[in-house]
Amino acid sequence: MTDFLQQFVIGIVFGSRIGLIGVSFALIIGVTQRFHVAYTATYVGGVYAGYWAYNDIGLPMGLSVVIGLLFAGVFGALIEATVYRRIAARAARRGTDQLIPIFIAALGVTILVQNLISWIWNTQPLAFDVIPLSPITWGDIYLTNLDVLTVIASWVAVIALAAFLRYTRLGSSVGAVRVNADMARVVGVNPARIFVLVFFVGSVMSAVLGMLEANGTGADPSMGLTPVFYGFVVAFVAGLDRSPIRMAVVGLVIGLVQSLSALWISIQYGPAVVFTILLVYLILLPTNFRRIVAIRRRGAVTVA
């Protein structure tokens, strides 16, 4: 029973984290149709920017965190405004597919950032102690203050995003662009700006997640691949057009399944369990395919 409860708690923490990954990931992909694998780059980039401000410049910790988050947001927005937009416009002009060129450019950004960081800070994990870890025990169940913070931060971000999309004017503009960018343009929304906004918000969230992870296990240039894997799984299993709260719940469930699977099979196979969920889901998917919003293939979104 203790094992179960312990794994359950771990699952809640992990599930909240990958829920927010899925939410921020789906926000970007769902609205902009960009296959943004370079989520890894803002995830890691924000952490190292914060580390740089704190360690190399000597700014206070709180300010450094804010700088890291803003850096990630601006960086994500810049990727959209300088790279993706241009590739999409070119593809639209020629009537070819934008999916693969953007995917490849995103891989380019990923590998560039990872190795730039490795060049500057080397590949050893760096301690990133924003908050000192302290254990919380509750009966036989063990967790840390960081775990609690992770859960709170994830759900606050998810609910804040859901409220923003639902209750603000800007949020409904985002929704309009998601459904039909050309129609949104007609009613006076500028999709290009919305895209940049979405990249900014999603990238800030990615950096929040990066910092939470780095605070626990240290910063490492290659830490971005794992979150992208989970982000994809959560976003695609939930459906790209789903509300943030529903998406976060799907993330929570997947996190719990992976965590609780450790009760029966070795913990190292946890990712394989999630992979199996994904496979089964993809095999069953065609029956309820219509509910899933796929990335539109051709220049449906021509933001230039």
Partner 1 sequence: MGEVVNTSNQILLFAMFALSLNLLMGYAGQASLAHAAFGAVGGYTAAVLGVNHGWGFVPAVLVAIVVTGLVGALVSVPALRLPEQYLILLTIAVAFIVSSLTQSISQLGGQYGLQSPGAITIFGHDFITPEQILPLFIAIGVVVFVLCWRMGESAFGRVLRSLREDDAATRALGKNTVRFKVVVFGATSAIAGLAGALFVYYYQQVSPGQWTVQVAISMIAMVVLGGIGNLIGSVIGAIVIVSSTPILEKWVDLGASKATFARLMIYGVALILLMMFRPEGMLKERHSRHELRGIRTEPAGRIAIAAASDGDGDEATVDAATPAPAYSGRSVSIAPAEVAQVAATAGVRQPSPGVTRGSPDVTAVRPSGAIALEVRGMRKHFGGIKAVNGVDLDLPEHEVTALIGPNGAGKSTLFGLFTGFIAKDAGTVELHGRSVDRLSPDAVARRGMVRSFQDVRLFTRLTVLENVLVGVPHQAGESLLNLFVRPLAVRRSDRETRDEALRHLETVGMLDKAGVMAADLAHGEQKLVAIARVLATGADLLLLDEPTSGIDPAWVDRIADTIRRLPELGKTVCIVEHNLAFLERLQVPCYFLEAGAVRRKGSLRDLMADDELRHAYFGV
Closer residue to partner 1, CB minimum distance, 66 or 74: 74
Which sign does the torsion angle of CA 60, 63, 149, 231 carry? negative
30 in Cβ contact with 293 (< 8 Å): yes
Question: Among 8, 155, 164, 269, which residue sits at the site for partner 1 (rule: CB under 8 A)?
Answer: 269
Q: How far is the CB of 10 from partner 1 (least distance, A)?
A: 17
Q: Which stretch binds partner 1 (CB under 8 A): 10-18, 89-97, 131-139, 212-220?
A: 89-97
Q: Which of 174, 178, 157, 166 is nearest to 34 (CA)?
A: 178
182 binding partner 1? (CB under 8 A): no
87 binding partner 1? (CB under 8 A): yes
Site string for partner 1, 216-245 (x = CB under 8 A): ------x--xx-xx--xx--x---------
Site string for partner 1, 280-299 (x = CB under 8 A): --xx-xx--x----xx-x--
Q: Is 196 left (phi over 0), alpha (psi -120 to 50) or beta?
A: alpha
118 binding partner 1? (CB under 8 A): yes
195 in Cβ contact with 29 (< 8 Å): no
Closer residue to partner 1, CB minimum distance, 31 or 109: 109
Question: Among 83, 192, 249, 256, which residue sits at the site for partner 1 (rule: CB under 8 A)?
Answer: 83
Rounded-to-integer distance, Cα 72 and Cα 49, Å: 8
Q: How far is the CB of 277 from partner 1 (least distance, A)?
A: 10
**How many other CB atoms are there within 10 angstroms of residue 250's CB atom?**
23
Angle at which helices 99-121 and 39-51 cross, to 10°: 20
